[in-house]
Chain A
Amino acid sequence: KNQVEQSPQSLIILEGKNCTLQCNYTVSPFSNLRWYKQDTGRGPVSLTIMTFSENTKSNGRYTATLDADTKQSSLHITASQLSDSASYICVVSAYAGKSTFGDGTTLTVKP
């Protein structure tokens, strides 16, 4: 069964600090992995998308990494801002198959 597990479930950090969110998956055959940011009461917005051959992708202060051998991905947020407070969702897709969503990590950035 395809599964995506994210950790931690929630995280609180101080403004300006860095943090790393984790995503482990068992989806096969792997097609791509996406990270989404979802603000409270809003729909998810895509941050990055990585295919099998890509092991890092950046979007401003967000950097995603992918290790296809260990089936792990991480999302690193640099110099956090209050506006980074949101839920971050990892989504893994199989070829010609559906996407499997993680439960998300809720990040709270405090001043």
Chain B
Amino acid sequence: DVKVTQSSRYLVKRTGEKVFLECVQDMDHENMFWYRQDPGLGLRLIYFSYDVKMKEKGDIPEGYSVSREKKERFSLILESASTNQTSMYLCASSFVRGGRATDTQYFGPGTRLTVL
């Protein structure tokens, strides 16, 4: 079974703090994704990575950065957390088949981040 793990289920931080969210997958997937999920807005893509040290902005990258130093690990960084970044953060990974980066994504359990 594919396993995607996230470092924390719940996290509480203060405004201005630097926040690291870690995601690890064990299936040698090329692609990894970070989403945030808010009521009424669905899942929105923050960043994705299709290879080690490669990254691309998603739909809402502002206020976030990412790091992928190893294939199995994808980190989301909030340089200076703000209250509007309170949300559920979901990490996902997927294969690349025949060059199509649209295969089924496997999601982690999510991290519910609260910024006070």
Q: Which of A41, A43, A103 contacts B42 (CB 8 A)?
A: A103
Given the complex, which residues of B lie within 8 Å of A43, measured CB to CB?
A: 4, 90, 92, 107-110
Closest partner residue, chain B, to A34 (CB atom): B104
Range for the number of chain B residues in contact with chain A = 20 to 34
Closest partner residue, chain B, to A45 (CB atom): B107
Q: Tell whether, in the assembled complex, residue A31 and residue B102 are in contact, meaning their CB atoms are under 8 Å apart.
A: yes
Given the complex, which residues of B lie within 8 Å of A46, measured CB to CB?
A: 104-106
Given the complex, which residues of A lie within 8 Å of B40, measured CB to CB?
A: 103
Q: Tell whether, in the assembled complex, residue B42 and residue A44 are in contact, meaning their CB atoms are under 8 Å apart.
A: no
Q: Taking the complex as formed, is A94 at the interface, i.e. its CB lies under 8 A from any CB of chain B?
A: yes
Q: Tell whether, in the assembled complex, residue A96 and residue B104 are in contact, meaning their CB atoms are under 8 Å apart.
A: no
Q: How many A-B pairs fall under 8 Å by CB?
A: 50
Q: Taking the complex as formed, is A93 at the interface, i.e. its CB lies under 8 A from any CB of chain B?
A: yes
| Main SS class of interface, A | strand
A50 to chain B, nearest CB (A): 11
Closest partner residue, chain A, to B109 (CB atom): A43
Given the complex, which residues of A lie within 8 Å of B99, measured CB to CB?
A: 96
Q: Mark B19-62, 1 if CB is under 8 A from A, else 0.
A: 00000000000000000000011111100100000000010000
In angstroms, Cα B108 to Cα A45, docked, is: 9
B106 to chain A, nearest CB (A): 7
Interface residues of A (CB under 8 A from B): 31-32, 34, 36, 41-46, 49, 89, 91, 93-99, 101-104
